[in-house]
Amino acid sequence: MFEMIKLKYPYDAFEPFIDTETMQVHYEGHYASYTKNFNEKMIDEGLCYGDLSVLEILKETLSSYTYNQGGGYWNHGFYFEALNPSGNEEISIKFNSYLSNFFYNGMEGLRGDLVAKCMNVFGSGYAWLMFDTIDRQIFCMGTKNQDVNHITARYQPLLNIDVWEHAYYLKYKNKKRDAIENHIKVIDWSVVEGRLKNIIAKERG
């Protein structure tokens, strides 16, 4: 059975950027529902996943319902893992210098690009920070709904931002940009940098 990741902080720790009720509903409601539904459908459809990861399973031929529940499960775990109430904005000099190869003014440019990609997602979906393992590029992109097809051996995710309305509407209503700009303040950039380091380490064996 696939399990939810454990939050490292209480729900109210992200105030005032993410309100307590949104954090609780997002985690106990939406994330928990995707987890429950995905596990149940795996059993109902007689799918034996063995040692396969969720992303590997989602590359198989599944019903659209099972795919969406599995995508919701994986996307939410990845999302919650990179949150930190303090924001941990003091990224390493090396990482900021590396980002400067792809974004004007490094972290400042990255934040602006993430906001733009979030705003360009029409309806429900995510904005992503991705690493191209072939061209060695870092870039931002948007996806719809709970899709994970953009994640491949070549294109590896470093960060996602949930722009489904359930991630912000209780506090921000129609002020989506405000929600995104404040969400960026509680991203744990050490987690993002760690993900990049892990990808590179795996390549080197």
Q: How confident is the model at residue 44 (pLDDT cuts 50, 70, 90)?
A: confident
pLDDT at 24 over 70: yes
Contact between 41 and 63 under an 8 Å Cβ cutoff? The reply is: yes
CATH topology for the 93-204 domain: minor pseudopilin epsh fold (3.55.40)
CA distance linking residue 203 with residue 205, whole number of Å: 5
> Who wins on pLDDT, 157 or 46?
157
Q: What is the pLDDT of residue 49?
A: 67
Q: Where are the domains of the chain?
A: 19-81, 93-204
If you average pLDDT over residues 194-204, what whole number do you get? 93
CA separation, residue 179 to residues 76, 161, 170 (Å): 17, 11, 10
- Under CATH, which number does the domain 19-81 receive? 1.10.287.990
Q: What is the pLDDT of residue 89?
A: 60
pLDDT tens by residue, 77-92: 999 999 999 876 667 8
